Amino acid sequence: MEQYVLETSDLTKTYGNYSAVDGVSLKVPQCSIYGFLGANGAGKSTTMKMVLGLIKPDRGSIRVFGRPFPQERTRILRRVGALIESPSYYGHLTGYQNLRIVAKLMDVSESQIMETLEWVRLENQADKKVKHYSLGMKQRLGIAMAIVHRPKLLILDEPTNGLDPSGIQEIRSFIKSIPEKFGMTVLISSHLLHEIEQIAEHVGIIHEGQLIYQDTLASLQEKGGDLPLERIFLEMTGQGRSL
């Protein structure tokens, strides 16, 4: 039986009569990049927040590293890193000082802080106040804060949102290097197929709260035959008819 780093079963969250997430069973294999794809409002952030214990599910179960969540919450979250929405930082402090605050909470050594700043290529900007950082630099600091304690699972919610093309390229190439370089599994969400296509090997497509596809990107391509992936995605989510 394959061991999944993250496995949810029938995960459901309802707001009033509206099912934001409806029976989602994710299977995220070890040391992969899993692209969680869906249009705005499809239920990506709600799913990720449930996995991190930030929202309580109405139904369903979650296992991380094979352990039940939230029953083993502390033990699990020590090995998870996340960047959900915009990173939270103190603008009047430097990048280094911000990272140090997180690192202290996690009992991380000084050398690991410096190494992390180098990984995200902020070592030359470490002493600059974060309020003077570009958006791309802030996102890289957010990723540094998420990985400084060397988690085994990294959860990134639309990390390239709002960045310019060079910022997107920088973050993308860094994320792609993560599984091999650091032995981490990455769950990354996006509303853009071409984003996921360039980063992930596995893909889960969520549409109106339901997981309508989950497999490798290669299988999705095979399934669609000669159709471009974009077209397959639009057909699956019912948007193809308007083309």
Q: Which residues of 52-90 are buried (b: 16+ CB within 10 A; e: fewer)?
A: beebebeebebbbbeeebeeeeeebbebbbbbbeebebe
Which C-beta is closer to ligand ATP: that of 18 or that of 90? Answer: 18
Residues 6+ apart with CB under 8 A from 119: 144, 147, 174
Q: Where does residue 216 fall: left (phi above 0), alpha (psi -120 to 50 degrees), or beta otherwise?
A: beta
> Nearer Cβ to ligand ATP, position 28 or 117?
28
87 sits near ligand ATP (criterion: CB under 6 A): no
For residues 201, 77, 39, 185, the Cα torsion angle rounded to the nearest 10 degrees is -10
Q: Pick between residue 38 and residue 204 the one whose CB is nearest to ligand ATP.
A: 38
Residue 151 in contact with ligand ATP, rule: CB under 6 A: no
Interaction of residue 15 with ligand ATP, rule CB under 6 A: yes
d(CA 206, CA 11): 12
Find the binder of ligand ATP among 5, 8, 46, 152 (CB under 6 A).
46
Rank residues 136 and 209 by Cβ distance to ligand ATP and give the closer one: 209
Contact between residue 156 and residue 120 where contact means Cβ atoms under 8 Å apart: no
Cβ 45 to ligand ATP, closest distance in Å? 3
The answer to whether 190 contacts ligand ATP (rule: CB under 6 A) is no
Taking the complex as a whole, how short is the minimal distance between the CB of residue 11 and ligand ATP, in angstroms? Answer: 12
The answer to the question of residue 162 lying near ligand ATP (CB under 6 A) is no
User: Which of 5, 6, 20, 232 is close enough to bind ligand ATP by CB under 6 A?
Assistant: 20
**Is 50 one of the binding residues for ligand ATP (CB under 6 A)?**
no
**Closest to ligand ATP by CB, 85 or 164:** 85
Residue 211: its H or E element: strand 210-216
Nearer to ligand ATP, 42 or 83 (CB): 42
* Site stretch for ligand ATP (CB under 6 A), options 39-47, 62-70, 74-82, 92-100: 39-47
According to CB under 6 A, which one of 8, 33, 37, 43 is a site residue for ligand ATP?
Answer: 43
Quote the tokens at residue 38.
């869906």
Q: CA-CA distance, 51 to 62, in Å (whole number)?
A: 7
Total binding residues toward ligand ATP, as defined by CB under 6 A: 12
Q: Which two tokens stand for residue 121?
A: 């290529």
In the chain, the amino acid numbered 234 is L
Using the 8-state DSSP alphabet, how is residue 183 labeled?
A: -
Instruction: Give me the residues that bind ligand ATP (CB under 6 A), please.
Output: 15, 20, 38, 40-46, 158, 191
